[in-house]
A and B are shown apart, each in its own frame.
Chain A
Amino acid sequence: MKNESTFIDVPAESSSAMKGKAPLIGVAKDHTTSGSGGYNRGLSIFDFLLRLAAIVAASVAAGTMFTSDETLPFFTQFLQFEAGYDDLPTFQFFVIAMSMVAGYIVLSLPISVVTIVRPLAAAPRLLLLVLDTAIMGLTMAAASSAAAISYVAHNGNQNTNWLPICQQFGDFCQKTSGAVVSSFVAVVFFMILVVLSGVALKRH
């Protein structure tokens, strides 16, 4: 690559030749790191988009469950037949947890932007990975506990004489089931986010 002169007067020129060599090595390093930096940047952009999708999934889940009230069109002299998310503590937990999850993803968007801008920084990615894992656990807990209650509401339980309420409150059951499905979609997004952060960390 370089052609040095055939006779080098070493005491003076060798130090400058060595100094001249150093930037080349530096440049070579830059080439390799910018290659993996570009890959990491692509992963970060995908991560950011996935977070936007997860915000939608989580807030749809929370909102659908929150507005899943149903009032039956008949009533007796004493009471009107109503069903809402606040009749079941598990659904209350679901609404609160999914709202927290949506808020967390919104707050994690700046950190994701930082990983796009600085693709080789490890600390933001590690932070995101740890937080995403914990929040994924919370989301999955809310989703599956609500799913278990939805299952009982749909099918009842003969052994414990728990009657399936979905046969009266059809709309309520439909909406809550839709909310549960949306939260499972959010869990899948979180899993992909965690794996993405792990792969991006590997490439340093």
Chain B
Amino acid sequence: MAKESTTIDIGETSTVTKSTSHALVDEKKKGFVTAAPGGGYKRGLTIFDFLLRLAAIGITIGASSVMFTAEETLPFFTQFLQFQAGYDDFPTFQFFVIAIAIVASYLVLSLPFSIVTIVRPLAVAPRLILLISDTVVLTLTTAAAAAAASIVYLAHNGNANTNWLPICQQFGDFCQTASTAVVAASISVVFFILLIVISAIALKRH
């Protein structure tokens, strides 16, 4: 601790010693923060967050485009119609394509915020914005993935009680492609959960 001079002239001390003591305390606190590995820890978390976003962009773009191109035309046809299946035959799959595309563009737009949190590890506002918007987009992604999964399940297995026939038995390729897209979207859900947890941990260490 600092040693004060032996004779204190009290006239100026009440503010001076208070300010110096505050400065002492603040310097001690600041010294603590910069000396401790807290800043490095957070920067590592943020870099991981950025990489996770890049991976999530790749997966969501992949999921959306795979579902978009999931068409199949059967090699036989009657006089009146040809048997086709595509994503636009199912409103749920239409919702899936649009929602996952929105999620992918959100991720691209959130990359600058992530870079800001890397450059300024102690800034709170960008992290909080990222946390809130990640939560909302997690909800959207989960909704799209789960709804498409339930339709894919129905297409694979049908339902005896409601007399809904499993169409995958005719449209095998279409079903496979749609299932792949749903799996990719589910992986992106896991990524989003990780992103939210990282933002929360980084917020905590203030």
Contact = CB atoms under 8 A, between A and B. Distances in A.
Nearest to B9: A6
Contacts of A163: 162-164
Interface string B94-119: 00000000000000000000000000
A140 B192 CA distance: 14
A56 interface: no
B89 A159 contact: yes
Interface string B4-39: 111110100110011001100100000000000000
Interface stretch (B42-50, B69-77, B150-158): B150-158
A41 B124 CA distance: 20
A10 B143 contact: no
Contact of B204 (A2, A141, A149, A201): A201
A11 B5 CA distance: 10
Contacts of A155: 91
A204 B150 contact: no
B164 to A, nearest CB: 4
Give the interface SS of chain B, mostly helix, strand, loop or mixed: helix
Given A89-B153, A195-B135, A198-B131, A144 B200 contact: no
B154 A191 contact: no
B52 interface: no
A1 B14 contact: yes
Contacts of B201: 126
Contact of A145 (B7, B85, B150): B150
A21 interface: yes
A144 B128 contact: no
B134 to A, nearest CB: 9
A199 B129 CA distance: 10
Chain B, interface residues (CB within 8 Å), range: 35 or more
B200 A141 contact: no
B7 A8 contact: yes
B135 A157 contact: no
B183 interface: no
Interface in A119-166: 122, 125-126, 129-130, 133-134, 136-137, 140-149, 151-153, 155, 157, 159-163, 165
B147 A147 contact: yes
Given A21-B21, A157-B89, A191 B135 contact: yes
A188 B46 CA distance: 27
B199 interface: yes
Contact of B138 (A89, A133, A146, A157): A133
A160 B163 contact: no
Given A10-B7, A149-B154, A152-B154, A129 B200 contact: yes
B55 interface: no
Given A191-B135, A195-B135, A153 B162 contact: yes
B153 A191 contact: no
B78 interface: no
A87 B161 contact: yes
Interface of B: 1, 4-8, 10, 13-14, 17-18, 21-22, 25, 85, 89-92, 124, 127-128, 131-132, 135-136, 138-139, 142-151, 153-155, 157, 159, 161-165, 167, 189, 193, 196-197, 199-201, 203-204, 206
Given A90-B154, A197-B200, 6 more contacts: A126-B204, A136-B135, A141-B146, A145-B150, A202-B127, A204-B206
Interface of A: 1-8, 10-11, 14, 18, 21, 25, 83, 87-90, 122, 125-126, 129-130, 133-134, 136-137, 140-149, 151-153, 155, 157, 159-163, 165, 187, 191, 194-195, 197-199, 201-202, 204
Which 9 residue pairs of A and B lie closest in terms of their CB atoms, listed nearest first? A145-B150, A148-B147, A141-B146, A144-B143, A87-B161, A159-B89, A140-B142, A162-B164, A145-B146
